[in-house]
Amino acid sequence: MIPLCSLMKNLHLLKLKNIALDKAWNRLEKMGVELVYGNEASEGSQLYIYLTKGQHLQQLPWIDSCLPASFPEVDWHQQWELHSASFHEGKAHISLESYGIQSGPIQLLPGEGFGDLSHPTTCLMLELMASQVKGKTFIDMGCGSGILSLAAIAMGAKRSFGIDIDPKAIEHAKHNATLNEMADRSHFCFPNALPIVMPYEPCVIGINMITTEQTVAWGSVSFLHQHNFPVISSGVQHSQREAYLAQAAMRGWSMQNEIAKDGWLAFHFV
């Protein structure tokens, strides 16, 4: 099976010139580019990114080249140690105390899945989830490391289903669920393997992706559209607010709450 999103975006390697790696990362993020990871190579800084069909970056003066690439071998332990908060003893330790959870931190193993509270969009998701998921089933679209699915369980969700198009991310999330003794209530799979959720089962859908990825991901789960479940969404830049809300209205979503952090927005829709 070829996941839907893999047909619409391709991995590229950017070679940078006359710009710091973190500055290039921030600029591309604001442009809505999906970044994978970056490194300081002997021949200069490099960034691995996903390019969605129609995105072109060659005109940027600080990009030396932008070429299709395949995934190199990545030292994920090193990457998480460099970028994850509270990383020690080989794991990231994610405290949920600021969201009213006193049960101890969620632990995450280094791996391919995205999500460890180092990005403001994840923090925004957790802030909105804290009052919405208790006693419900949480559907985590683009589960990455499984952080939101596991946090939902810690916040009192009945169970969680995390879906992703990357088989390595799914395996990463499963390992994290086992590590946190939540494997019995959290399940991870491809979108087309998500069990049909009965209309009478109270659910909340979580989407933490940039807007272009959200459009593709939402289209891949059309069987959920008819149920009218509440949606918690993050990954929207402030400059995209009006266009995103217009798109949400076309889906029949009515905004109940909006919060912001570091130029990023998150919403609670019904």
Give me the residue spans of the domains in the chain: 4-68, 89-269
Which of 91, 152, 93, 157 is CA-nearest to residue 125?
A: 152
Confidence of residue 53 (pLDDT cuts 50, 70, 90): low
**CATH number belonging to domain 4-68:** 3.30.70
User: Residue 216 is inside which H or E element, if any?
Assistant: helix 211-219
Asked if residue 225 has pLDDT above 70, the reply is yes
Q: Are strands 159-163 and 137-141 parallel, antiparallel or unpaired?
A: parallel
- What pLDDT digit, counting tens, does each position of 252-262 carry? 999 999 999 99
Question: Which fold is adopted by the domain 89-269?
Answer: Rossmann fold (3.40.50)
- What pLDDT digit, counting tens, does each position of 132-188 carry? 999 999 999 999 999 999 999 999 999 999 999 888 889 999 999 999 999 999 999
Confidence of residue 199 (pLDDT cuts 50, 70, 90): low
Number of neighbours of residue 181 by Cβ within 10 angstroms: 9
Q: H helices of the chain, where?
A: 21-30, 76-83, 120-129, 147-154, 167-179, 211-219, 222-225, 241-250
